[in-house]
């Protein structure tokens, strides 16, 4: 089933398909399996990292930059093309159809750019946004703390004004991509004498040892270190780097979270679909496809991925009619993360007894399906736990009563 998005989007799809076909550098498709589904802590990312360092990949990036096809959903005045979600989805589908990689600017594109556009001054926009598009600045997130993972309003990291700079001291944790970042967007407390949400500032901080930052990898059960904890010891940032103004960090922080929760519901199924076909290929190869229970579970996975696809198509249809999305982000996140947890268990059953044995290699070596199993557990936690998503859906979408809170053994 496909959604007829109208003549305009059909013409756009043709335009993008022709552009991609005419601009793929020779050898790009062979550098890596660009259809791989990224998993938290998985080691497949190492192979992709090697591929992205190749001159062929860099040429692809240059061609995309020249055509303004990086950060293309950003408004034209900020270096993008002003694409809506439908065009972004169509372009993503065509890239995958051709077997070539999308080039994204990570958290800079999705989590830092939007609050700068909404809350930044013209001078801040002119300085920071081009550096994100070009890839000069690579961001990681400084929100969660050891004692305040979900309650952002309670962060303890301090920011003290010193002349025309802010001096920041504190600890952040669960920092994705910290190993590759040269900037971090930090939520810190700059006024301890007002209610917790009102005394925070949103700051873009140079992320380096020279600026008093210490980064320690956090070992996951897969043996990989996809997350880090960070210690900021007198780290400095110009007051120019404060987005939204001092003590007004809650507004840009919520803008960031809105984009993080929104995700890519219209294209999320693509990676899961390829991953499923890879597993089906393994089941055919080792004979597990002849096991009726395995076949049943594979069929169940297929239906779940198709449901993701249909949900994305429904969202596309709504956007095409000018309707704003409702609770789809929370529903989508809950759906795919719970699906992937069961998929990870099935993957090991398809591998069979060999799944209990780690391959040879340095450190805590694991193979690709063991990575999927381990990482699939994390999907129900990061970007909003399944429990939190259920509360959001129940209370905000369905209008159910708020969950009762327990205090000192009493229901309140």
The set of catalytic residues is: 260
Under 8 Å between Cβ of 126 and 171 = no
| Nearest partner of 155 among 225, 89, 52, 232, judged by Cα | 232
CB contact set of 58 (below 8 Å; sequence gap of 6+): none
State how far the Cα of 169 lies from the Cα of 213, in Å rounded to an integer. Answer: 9
State how far the Cα of 375 lies from the Cα of 33, in Å rounded to an integer. Answer: 19
CA 224 to chain centre: 18
What separation in angstroms does the CA of 334 have from each of 222, 317, 326, 374?
22, 21, 15, 18
CA angle, 140 as apex, 138 and 145 as ends, to 5°? 165
Q: Which is it for the CA torsion 283, 340, 146, 241, positive or negative?
A: positive
State how far the Cα of 69 lies from the Cα of 192, in Å rounded to an integer. Answer: 43
What separation in angstroms does the CA of 266 have from each of 16, 47, 313, 377?
17, 26, 7, 23
Q: Which secondary structure element, helix H or strand E, spans residue 67, and what is its range?
A: none
CA 266 to chain centre: 14
- Conformation bin of residue 389: beta by default, left when phi > 0, alpha when psi is -120 to 50: alpha
* Residue 26 burial by Cβ neighbours in a 10 Å radius (0-12, 13-18, 19+): exposed
Q: Where are the alpha helices (DSSP H) in 243-394?
A: 250-262, 269-286, 292-320, 328-351, 368-378, 386-392
State how far the Cα of 102 lies from the Cα of 92, in Å rounded to an integer. Answer: 7
State how far the Cα of 56 lies from the Cα of 205, in Å rounded to an integer. Answer: 32
What 3-state class would DSSP assign to 267?
A: coil
State how far the Cα of 282 lies from the Cα of 276, in Å rounded to an integer. Answer: 10
């Amino acid at each position: 089933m496909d959604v007829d998005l109208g003549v305009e989007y059909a013409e756009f799809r043709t335009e993008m398909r022709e552009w991609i076909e005419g601009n793929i550098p020779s050898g790009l498709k062979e550098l890596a399996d660009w259809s791989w589904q990224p998993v938290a802590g998985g080691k497949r990312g190492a192979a992709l990292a090697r591929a992205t360092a190749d001159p062929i990949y860099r040429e692809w990036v240059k061609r995309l930059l020249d055509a303004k096809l990086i950060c293309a959903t950003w408004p034209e005045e900020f270096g993008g093309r002003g694409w809506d979600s439908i065009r972004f989805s169509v372009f993503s589908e065509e890239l995958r159809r051709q077997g070539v990689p999308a080039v994204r600017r990570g958290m800079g594109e999705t989590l830092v750019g939007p609050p700068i556009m909404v809350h930044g001054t013209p001078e801040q926009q002119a300085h920071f946004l081009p550096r994100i598009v070009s890839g000069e600045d690579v961001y990681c997130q400084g929100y969660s703390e050891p004692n305040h993972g979900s309650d952002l309003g309670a962060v303890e990291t301090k920011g003290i004004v010193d002349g025309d700079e802010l001096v920041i001291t504190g600890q952040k944790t669960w920092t994705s991509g910290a190993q590759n970042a040269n900037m971090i967007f930090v939520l810190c407390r700059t006024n301890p004498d007002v209610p917790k949400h009102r005394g925070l500032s949103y700051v873009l901080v140079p992320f380096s040892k020279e600026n008093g930052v210490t980064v320690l990898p956090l070992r996951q059960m897969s043996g990989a270190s996809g997350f880090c904890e960070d210690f900021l010891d007198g780290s400095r940032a110009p007051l120019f780097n404060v987005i939204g103004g001092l003590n007004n960090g809650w507004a840009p922080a919520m803008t960031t979270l809105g984009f993080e929760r929104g995700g890519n519901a219209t294209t999320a199924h693509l990676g899961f679909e390829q991953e499923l076909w890879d597993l089906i290929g393994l089941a055919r190869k080792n004979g597990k496809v002849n096991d009726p229970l395995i076949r049943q579970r594979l069929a169940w996975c297929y239906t779940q991925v198709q449901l993701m696809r249909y949900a994305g198509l429904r969202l596309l249809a709504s956007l095409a009619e000018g309707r704003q999305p409702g609770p789809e982000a929370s529903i989508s996140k809950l759906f795919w993360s719970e699906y992937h947890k069961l998929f990870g268990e099935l993957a090991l059953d398809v591998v069979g007894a060999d799944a209990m044995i780690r391959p040879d290699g340095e450190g805590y070596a694991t193979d690709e399906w063991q990575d999927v199993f381990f990482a699939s557990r994390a999907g129900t936690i990061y970007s909003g736990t399944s429990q939190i998503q259920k509360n959001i859906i129940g209370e905000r979408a369905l209008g159910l009563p708020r969950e009762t809170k327990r205090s000192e053994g009493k229901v309140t």
